[in-house]
Chains A and B, each alone.
Chain A
């Protein structure tokens, strides 16, 4: 444990820290981002050159400049922003419902041992059911409505949160719980002051996972069912043979995914700023 922290200290420290002896000219904190930038530049260059060689046809993989051009035109379209809005609405609403339901259900089930024992097998059975299995049901019930998107997103994201909350509730320190009991904290008090702080890191992990899964399922619903949004735009662009546009849209979904990831991590850090795992890094 100690060796790991010591080894990490030299590499993760920002430019202000005492420079790790790796390189004298550039601060240690700058080397990693620069290398990463080189990697990304390399990818763009590769995508620019590859379609011009006989290896890959430009009909399938347009040069990076063409994709950039398509992306530029895309950003000027109202339809694109509407689609982005639709996707974000489905994602945000679905995630919010799933997190709220998952946290409430997790706390209720996790604080009653009998309930936990009774539901364990059912949760284990329902969780791995792929939510795409619900696509035909969603289509029949709601068509291309927002609700069919929500059905898929909520089903997929709910289990991520629930399982994490349950794991967190199980992790409660028995001594802390007994102490709370001997101070006559009621059920609510114990949930609020003992269980919730213990479970919070797990809840945050659950939210982070659920945010990613929710995006995947939102896009899937749009792509396969045809609900309005980025996924649907991709399907339309593909059928109409607008290849650079397909790539531009795919890139947008990737950037969206990265942004959601970074945001989730930032939220996690904020909510857990008191927690050991975050403090150690800082």
Chain B
């Protein structure tokens, strides 16, 4: 009996800790802007009221879905290409030495400047946006894969060789496995770059999409609608990072377990 009450109490305490501050902040925002007559800072109630109106129905299909589709296409292509090229570059020392400075230079170019360059090649259509996303977020994935492949444990590598594990099964069971924590780190960095590039490419030149619509609202001084768009982008970033963490915890469960075991022997 007492044990259940104490678990309930811990749960309540944790819920209070997790939700307390967000609730307070939300309330502050709500009440501070409640009677706001400032044109640029409309009451939160108005913003939330518009939120449902603006982002459900027609606009969901015409703007939100295309944006998400471009994001997904660009990100997935970058992951596949980044890991693929990274494996090739990482396994050969010569290739790695030759390409590393070039790759570092490409990685150091701030991805948004690629938008005008790629517009030259690909116009302002969907292809341009997908290429922009791929070319911006491939670098952290690629370089982290290289790094991960390079750091494969030598004992494991020798063990594999002496058991005659070669070719695809070596790649799958040894190389990719040992590099996966690094690859996932690269993928996490790439995800936030991908969101930035999706929004910017749409703000810069587009005829639909989240970034485009939000800038339209701002230019036509539809302020509550604009704020609702800002909220939606924030929510999108948050949800995607939650999904990523969920996937990471499943894929890298073995690694996190190993780390914990090493920390408290």
Q: Do A and B bind each other?
A: yes
A interface residues with partner B (beta carbon < 8 Å) = 3-4, 7, 31-32, 35-40, 42-43, 59-61, 117-122, 125, 127-137, 139-141, 212, 215-216, 219-220, 223-224, 231, 234-235, 237-238, 243, 246-247, 249-250, 253-258, 260-261
B interface secondary structure, majority? helix
| B20 contacts the other chain (CB 8 A) | yes
Contact across chains for A39 and B237 when beta carbons are under 8 A apart: no
Report B-chain residues with C-beta under 8 Å of the C-beta of A257: 107-110
Within B186-229, the residues touching A (CB, 8 Å) are 192, 195-196, 199-200, 203-204, 211, 214-215, 217-218, 223, 226-227, 229
Report B-chain residues with C-beta under 8 Å of the C-beta of A131: 196
| B253 contacts the other chain (CB 8 A) | no
How far, in whole Å, are A33 and B195 apart by their CA atoms in the complex?
A: 35
Contact across chains for A118 and B21 when beta carbons are under 8 A apart: yes
How far, in whole Å, are A165 and B242 apart by their CA atoms in the complex?
A: 22
Count of chain A to chain B residue pairs whose CB atoms are closer than 8 Å in the complex: 165
Report A-chain residues with C-beta under 8 Å of the C-beta of B110: 215-216, 219-220, 253, 257
Chain A proximity of B51: nearest CB distance (Å): 14
Contact across chains for A125 and B109 when beta carbons are under 8 A apart: no
Task: From B28-36, B74-82, B96-104, B168-176, give the one contacting chain A.
Answer: B96-104
B238 nearest CB neighbor, chain A only:
A128
Report B-chain residues with C-beta under 8 Å of the C-beta of A130: 192, 195-196, 199, 233-234, 236-237
Contact across chains for B115 and A35 when beta carbons are under 8 A apart: no
Contact across chains for B230 and A254 when beta carbons are under 8 A apart: no
Contact across chains for B218 and A125 when beta carbons are under 8 A apart: no
How far, in whole Å, are A111 and B25 apart by their CA atoms in the complex?
A: 22
| B255 contacts the other chain (CB 8 A) | no
Query: Can you report 28 A-B residue pairs in the complex whose CB atoms are below 8 A from each other?
Result: A35-B94, A36-B101, A42-B98, A60-B120, A60-B121, A121-B22, A122-B25, A125-B22, A128-B237, A128-B240, A132-B200, A133-B199, A133-B237, A136-B218, A136-B230, A141-B40, A216-B111, A220-B200, A224-B203, A235-B116, A238-B119, A238-B120, A246-B116, A246-B117, A250-B113, A254-B109, A260-B108, A261-B104
Nearest first, the 8 A-B pairs at minimum CB distance are A257-B108, A133-B233, A35-B97, A128-B241, A136-B218, A238-B116, A254-B109, A129-B234
